[in-house]
Structure formats: structure tokens, C-alpha cells
Chain A
Amino acid sequence: MTATHTPPRSAGFGPAGPGLAGTTRRVTRPAIRWDLAIALATTVLFAVAAVWPQLVATHNPFAMDLPASLQPPSPAHWFGTDEAGRDLYSRVVYGTRESLGIGIGAALVSLSLAIVLGTLAALGGRVASAVVGWLLEVAFSFPALLLSLLLIAVLGPSALTQILAVGIGTAPGYARMVRGQILAAKDSAYVEAAVALGHSRGRILRRHILPNALRPLVAVFALSIGQSIVWASSLSFLGLGVAPPSPEWGALLDAGRAFITEAGWLTVIPGLVIVLLALTATTLGRHLQRFLEKGETA
């Protein structure tokens, strides 16, 4: 019974000796983390584009210039032009606010719902836990896209509907996660230690269970922004999102679809931008997660 307890942590870097507790653990990492640096740089770019699009855009995103329609990328039009001669680069820049807004909004909706439902399912007493738990199982087994389509069918396509649809569609998965986290915290030795100290249920919930269960969600939030943007874009691409003149990225994809053979950049470039944003959010989320895990030890 001498095994010392080492909770699972993200693996350290550099070679670690076999079973040498505390000997080769504290290995410093290389000074620059390139993935993080790039992710931070693109975050700044996206933030600027969302807040002050006029600073980075080169053209008016809505100005039509029919003679210059469907031009491939060039020094004058970095991402080319669409069928109405609008500058695609500027449209992508102006679409950032809406796309990012939908992504963040949906992630907020999704996680708020998840926290409420997950907490209820974990701690709501016998009946509430059973009912919410059952609802979550049903919702989880229901494809998120179908759920979203259902909502749009009821509410009609708009940016707000998109936020709700994506948020509600992805909530059950996160709710299950929250439930698991809370249950794990509830059964932990430190909660039992708090009970043994004579602390009240409310105090234990506030001080131990919720903070420990919900902290991992900070990282999950960043991850889910990326995921939500992809989801929202696919809804727009299906024509179920924001209406066409809007430069929202999914809508750009949808608009470009008609010209996919003669003007492929109209779909490829917005697609790549979506991927870039999703990657950025994911990278930040991962680093945040690692940082938080370290934070509790350092």
C-alpha cells in the first residue's frame, strides 16, 4: 500500500524516468510555443475584424461592381470577387462579427443550458435527476442537426434562431459532461473531508463541487465556439441561416455554391477561414485547459 497518489495530469514533456516520483518531473518547456503564438495572432486578427472591420477591409463589402464579377484572387481583390463584383476579402472581414457572434452566442447558450441541466441531473434529488437525466439521454441520442432543423422550422431562419438552434442542439452533450463532472466531485475524497469537517451542504456545493466541476468548462467553452461556428456555417450553407446579402461566412459558402465550378475560391476561401477560426479556438482551448490543469498544481 505504498503507491503514492498521482492524479492523472497532462503528460509532461521531456523524458520522465520510470517510477521516479519527483525526480524528472519539473522539466521546463521550450521557450516558444508556436501553435499558441499563431493562435493568439489570429485571435487578434479576428478580433480586429469583428470590432473595426473598416480598419482591415479594402473595399465596401456591399458595393457591387458588375464588370468585375467572378474575378479570381489578385492584388486588387485578395480573395477575388463574387458574382456581383463584391470584394470577397472585405466581405469575409465584415462577416467576422456576425459569424463570431453566432459562434460565441451559441456556445454561451449551449453551456448555460448544459450547466443548468447537468447540475439538475446530478444534484436535483431523486425525481428531478431521473427526469432530467432521461431527457438528456433522449436529446443526446437525437442528432443535433435534426434538432436544429426542427427549431429553425418552428422559429424561421435568422441569426438569433441560428444561435438558439446550435446552442440547444449541442447542449445535451455538454450537459452530460457537466453531470459527470459534478458527480465525480460529489463523490471525491475532498468533499467527504468537508462533510467530516461539519460544513453544510450549501457551503460544500459552493466551495468545492461547483468550482471543481465547472472549471474544466472554461476550456470547453473555447472549444465549443469553434464547433458552434462550424455548425452555424453549415446551417447557413443549407440556406437555413442568415439571409444572403449578409456576409456571414456560412452564407458566403451558400452563395458561392452556385459558382463552385467556375469560381471555386468563393467557397474554398470562406471555408478555409472557418477552419482557421475553428482551429484557433481549439488551440486556445487546449492551451487554456493545460494551463488550468497546471494552475492547480503550481
Chain B
Amino acid sequence: MTVVDHTPRVARDDAANGPHPRISIRDLSVSFATSAGDRRIIEGVSFDLHPGRCVAIVGESGSGKSVTARTIVGLSGRGARVEAGALELHGRDIRSLPERAWRRIRGREIGFILQDALVSLDPLRPVGAEVGETLRLHGWRDRSARRRKIAELLEAVGVPSPERRARQRSGELSGGLRQRALIASALALDPDVVIADEPTTALDVTVQAQVLQLLEASKRRGASIILISHDLSVVAQLADHVLVMRHGRVVEQGPAEQVFASPQDPYTRALIAAVPSEATRGRRLSPTQDDASPSETASGETDAAREREVVLEARGLVKRFRAADGSETLAVDEVSFALHRGETLGVVGESGSGKSTTGRLALALEPADAGEVSLLGEPWSAAPERKRRALRSRIAVVSQDPLSSFDPRWNVERILADALPRGIRAPAARAARIGELLAQVGLPDEVLARFPLRLSGGQRQRVSIARALASEPDVIVLDEAVSALDVTIQAQVLDLLVDLQARLGLGYLFISHDLGVIAHLSHRVLVMKDGRVVEEGTPDEIFHQPREPYTRELIASIPALPRGAAASREA
């Protein structure tokens, strides 16, 4: 039995497919009433979800994938109008259920795993109580039985010492534990259907792998899963059937192998091609309209890069942070590296590995407790800020969240003008330079008058890059610079970074948790864990012959696109 495409026009016989689908959706549309008239958010979504199967809905932000998931549990939101040819749960029409009926369905029949465990869990209640809430609401009256069940559930999702953890509040748990607690509460009553909306998005790759295993296990026990994700490689791990959504419509759907191996829709192809990985080194990730010649990217130049001048060097950096209770954490421990002109040094690690602090030390935004950084051979971290100011134009930063790095009162023009070196005085020269910067990052002149809040995420990051280029630096520290972007936008920005490096000879200290991005872009890679560099090498060494067990674990956790997908990218 396979989950097949049940669009009305190919109305196949359900009976022939064995058991009836648990969820059956035909022609689902959701619109929201606004003062400017109705706004249709999703349109014409149809699929069936069978027992023990996983349907994945893939799309970028604004594609309507989350609204689809929420509509299935009757949470499409205020002002939403839901229309559907059919919307059935276990063959029962759920189009116009009263809220009371929904409450019985949620938790018992459909478990819902939300994206962000930090905001989805009540910060003032112990995690155990959160998990137990579902049980209590659905008839588990006996307190001690409930407590046993909670411990059991937490244990099942891999929470160590569950009894102790159950008494802690969500703030005391790490992101991974929180997400697992949330999954435990979604799975508490062993629902037939689990809807997971970006369940691994905020998680480290090793934790992500564990969460995916949990979902896999519950699928094997017969649960049906609807997985919502922007991440194709995550989807590839779990999905049997994939829907690709864009602007509220399903552009393509079919069995997972088929969608990945021979995507039909150009958007699906672009989406798959945009995923950076070791295999994409030296290739553009985004489709280019004008020229077919791929620009020179990270690959091949390693040897030449090595011989070049060292632009940024760190020796034995140490940084400790003192917590409120007096305890010390060693955030960065004896970190040394050298970055050459025109080279990308990838720094990869999980949250708390000290990679961002390393970036801040490199920028001398934070004083190091020991060790020192030199920039272009001159003392940098050890110099007083007054002396550093003259050198600041040589090193720039692009952060994950460009929006907060812009003064909210300023439009793009002002932001860029503020970053121009003081040498450029004449208004005409300044305007010309700003125009040049915009052209370098591929933004139209119209954005100058706009405020960052009115720009898309990709545009903001381009403005941030333009600002970094303003003083013609030698080094740019990029801290998770593409992590908040949709995959196709991320692909464009990565291509842009590669182009700029080739043209301007920039050295990148590229910090990311995303091994795919690091593998795609870096000439050399530092792997960090608990403040230390555990391994350093070329991407080839790191990704193919990792020496350290931790690196091996990290590499093994990377969810990969199926082989077929990689092949199809060449086409």
C-alpha cells in the first residue's frame, strides 16, 4: 500500500488501498477576512493520510504550510474561513465541528507538536505538569498513575532521569529536552495522527537526529504523521508522500522518492537544488537567469588560498563567563586559527559550543581573558578601542538577525551612508558609492528609501552585507548569516557571498550550525564543541575522514537528501 495522489481528477478507489485513510482532505481552501477583502492563504490542498505513513508538507515561509496543519486540528485562527470538498478524520466530517468536539479530538486523536518549545510550554509550570495536562484532560484522574505515566513518556522520548526532569520548569531545560517534552505531551495518549510543525527547526543537528528517530519510531508503531518543514533533508528522512507548497498552492505532490528523484515542477527543482551540502561545492545554488557560466566557488582554490597572506589570526583565545551564582563557564577554550585573504574559514558547532563568542572575540567586541587576535598582522584584540577604531574598517560583521542590527529609525540609505568611510565626503561621491554597494549585493535602488522592517529577510541580509562591504574590509565575520533565511533565499545569499569573495578577495570567518552550508562554502573547517576546537581540516578531511568521534557523530547526524535527489540536481 502506498500513499497516492488523490486529486479529484484521479479519483482512485480507496478500498483498493487497504484501510481507509485516517485523514482525508479534498480541495481545502482557507481565507482570512481583512478590511481589504478576503485574502486566500491556501487553496486546493488535497491529500490522504494512511496509518503508519508520513505526509510531509514542504514550503518556504508564507507558503501556507502551517495554516494547512492548523486547519486540520481546527486551529486555523480567528477570522479564517475554511472551505473544503472533504475534510475527514477517520471518515468523520470535521468541517464544522464545535470547539467542544475539537477539544476531545486534540490530544487524543491528533497530537500536535509545535515549532518552538520555549514558547509552547508554560514557563511557570513544571514540564511534567505540562505533559500530564493532556492525560488529566482525557480522563487520567489518578495522580500517582499519572506521575508514573509521565516518567514513562519522558523516558520514551529519551529524556534522561525523567522523574527529576518532570519537576523542572521549561526554562531549566535545554532546547532539545524541551522539544522532547513537547513531543512527549503530544504523544501522551498515543494519538493515531501526529502533526509536527517544524519540530526540529530550532534544534542542533544531533538533537534533530534524535527527534527524527522518535517520530520514526512512532510511525513504525502505526501513527500517521503530518510533517511540516522548510527543510527538505529533514523531510527526506521521514516522509512517504510529499506536498510542495508555494504561495498557498500545492505545486507538486507525490511519493517521496519520486518527488526527490524526478521533481516535475521547476520550483521543486529549485528547492532541491538550493540545499547546500558537500556535493554542491563549487556550484551555484540558485538558478541564474543571465549567464550559464557558474562562478568560481569554494572548491579547487584551497592550495592557492593557503599561500596567501594571513588577514586574521587568533592565538590561544580564552573567554570565561561568570553566571549570576558565581559559577564560571568556559565559553572559549584555547582557540587558535588563521584566516587567509580570499579564504572561507568555516566554524561549525552546536549551540553553546562557543562559536559565536569566538566570532565576537575575533571582532574585538568582547575582551578575551587570554590569548590574542591580530588583524592584518597588527595587534587587534589587545589594543585599546581608541586604537582599534582605525582598523575597524578592515573587518566587518554580518549577523543572523540583520533587522536588530539596524537603527530602527533609519532607512536603507541612511544605514549605508552611516557605514561609508569618512574619506568619502562629497555628497555625489557618497551617493555613487551607495549605488555601487547596492549593485554589488543585487538590490534595486528603490530599497534606499525603505525601512528594514519593510524588507524581506533576504533583502535585509543583502543590506547587511552591503553595509559590511561599505568600508572595503579584508575580513567579514558572518555569524549564522544565512540561518534565518528560506532555502531558496539562502541559496541566493550564499551565491552572492561566493561571488563577492572571488571579486573582492574577502576573508570570511563563517560561523554556522548548519553543516551543509559550511561544507558548501568553506575552504577550511573548525569543528567546535564546549568551547574547544576538536578538529580542524579541509571539508574533504572533515566530511570524509573525520578523526574525532564527535565530528563523526556530527557528520552522521546530517540529514541528507536521497541519492537520487543529488543526481537530479545535475540535470
Question: Chain A interface (Cβ within 8 Å of chain B)?
Answer: 1-5, 7, 13-15, 17-24, 27-30, 188-190, 192-200, 207-208, 211-212, 215, 296-298
Let me know if B389 and A27 touch, CB within 8 A.
Answer: no
Q: A3 touches which one: B116, B397, B454 (CB < 8 A)? A: B116
Let me know if B408 and A296 touch, CB within 8 A.
Answer: yes
How many angstroms between the C-alpha atoms of A28 and B37 in the bound complex? Answer: 11
Let me know if B201 and A2 touch, CB within 8 A.
Answer: yes
Q: List 30 A-B contacts (CB under 8 A).
A: A2-B486, A5-B404, A14-B34, A15-B33, A15-B34, A17-B80, A18-B66, A18-B67, A19-B67, A23-B39, A24-B39, A188-B404, A189-B401, A190-B407, A192-B405, A193-B397, A193-B405, A195-B365, A196-B392, A196-B396, A197-B396, A197-B418, A198-B388, A198-B393, A207-B418, A208-B407, A212-B407, A296-B451, A297-B408, A298-B454
Name the distance in Å between B565's Cβ and chain A's nearest Cβ. 21
Let me know if A1 and B513 touch, CB within 8 A.
Answer: yes
Let me know if A197 and B401 touch, CB within 8 A.
Answer: no
Q: Is B86 interfacial (CB 8 A cutoff)?
A: no
Stretch of B12-20, B70-78, B255-263, B264-272 contacting A (4+ beta carbons < 8 Å): B70-78
Q: Is B230 interfacial (CB 8 A cutoff)?
A: yes
Q: Is B198 interfacial (CB 8 A cutoff)?
A: yes
Let me know if B483 and A2 touch, CB within 8 A.
Answer: yes
Let me know if A198 and B392 touch, CB within 8 A.
Answer: yes
CB closest residue in chain B, given A9? B453
Chain B 446-477 near chain A by CB (<8 Å), digits 1 or 0: 00000101101100000000010001000000
Within 8 A of A (CB), among B55-102: 61-62, 66-67, 70, 75-80
Q: Is B543 interfacial (CB 8 A cutoff)?
A: no
CB closest residue in chain A, given B115? A3
What residues of chain A lie closer than 8 Å to B406, measured between beta carbons?
190, 193
Let me know if B457 and A4 touch, CB within 8 A.
Answer: yes
Name the distance in Å between B99's Cβ and chain A's nearest Cβ. 16
How many angstroms between the C-alpha atoms of A255 and B388 in the bound complex? Answer: 68
Question: Chain B interface (Cβ within 8 Å of chain A)?
Answer: 32-36, 39, 41, 61-62, 66-67, 70, 75-80, 116, 198, 201-202, 230, 363, 365, 388-393, 395-397, 399-401, 403-409, 418-419, 451, 453-454, 456-457, 467, 471, 480, 483-486, 513
Main secondary structure on chain B at its contact with chain A?
loop
Name the distance in Å between A251's Cβ and chain B's nearest Cβ. 43
Let me know if A15 and B390 touch, CB within 8 A.
Answer: no
How many angstroms between the C-alpha atoms of A2 and B397 in the bound complex? Answer: 20
Given contacts A3-B202, A211-B409, contact A197 B32 (CB under 8 A): no
Name the distance in Å between B378's Cβ and chain A's nearest Cβ. 14
Given contacts A7-B404, A196-B392, A296-B409, contact A15 B77 (CB under 8 A): yes
How many angstroms between the C-alpha atoms of A297 and B41 in the bound complex? Answer: 24
Given contacts A21-B61, A28-B35, A212-B409, contact A197 B484 (CB under 8 A): no
CB closest residue in chain A, given B393? A198
How many angstroms between the C-alpha atoms of A200 and B77 in the bound complex? Answer: 48
CB closest residue in chain A, given B397? A196
How many angstroms between the C-alpha atoms of A208 and B407 in the bound complex? Answer: 7
Given contacts A1-B483, A23-B39, A196-B397, contact A15 B32 (CB under 8 A): yes
What residues of chain B lie closer than 8 Å to A194, measured between beta carbons?
407, 418
How many angstroms between the C-alpha atoms of A212 and B67 in the bound complex? Answer: 36
What residues of chain A lie closer than 8 Å to B483, measured between beta carbons?
1-2
How many angstroms between the C-alpha atoms of A4 and B183 in the bound complex? Answer: 23
Listed from nearest, the 4 A-B pairs whose CB atoms lie closest are A198-B392, A15-B79, A189-B404, A18-B77
Let me know if A17 and B77 touch, CB within 8 A.
Answer: yes
CB closest residue in chain A, given B420? A197
Known contacts A17-B80, A208-B407; 19 additional CB pairs below 8 A are A1-B400, A1-B484, A4-B457, A7-B404, A15-B78, A15-B80, A23-B62, A29-B35, A30-B35, A188-B404, A189-B404, A190-B405, A197-B418, A197-B467, A198-B390, A198-B392, A207-B418, A211-B409, A297-B451
Given contacts A17-B32, A190-B405, A196-B397, contact A4 B66 (CB under 8 A): no
How many angstroms between the C-alpha atoms of A188 and B399 in the bound complex? Answer: 13
Name the distance in Å between A51's Cβ and chain B's nearest Cβ. 33
Q: B404 touches which one: A24, A190, A197, A208 (CB < 8 A)? A: A190
What residues of chain A lie closer than 8 Å to B36, measured between beta carbons?
27-28
Let me know if A27 and B399 touch, CB within 8 A.
Answer: no
Let me know if A198 and B418 touch, CB within 8 A.
Answer: no
Let me know if A192 and B365 touch, CB within 8 A.
Answer: yes
Q: B389 touches which one: A5, A200, A211, A297 (CB < 8 A)? A: A200
Given contacts A198-B389, A198-B392, contact A20 B62 (CB under 8 A): yes
Q: B451 touches which one: A1, A23, A190, A298 (CB < 8 A)? A: A298
What residues of chain B lie closer than 8 Å to A29, measured between beta carbons?
35
